[in-house]
Amino acid sequence: MARLRWEPGPVGRLIKAGRSGRLCDDGLVRVLIPLPDADFDVTEVAVPWRLLSEAGHDIVFATEQAGTVPAGDPRLLTGVLFGQLGAEPGSRARYAELTCNIECRKGPH
Neighbours of 26 (CB within 10 A): 11
Q: 100 falls in which pLDDT band (50, 70, 90)?
A: confident
Q: Is the pLDDT assigned to residue 8 strictly greater than 80? A: no
State if pTM tops 0.85: no
Q: Which residue in 74, 69, 90, 68 sits closest to 39, CA to CA?
A: 74
For the segment 41-93, what is each residue's pLDDT rounded down to a tens digit?
998 998 899 888 888 888 888 889 888 888 999 888 888 766 677 888 888 89
Distance (Å, rounded) from C-alpha 99 to C-alpha 77?
13
pLDDT of residue 37: 92
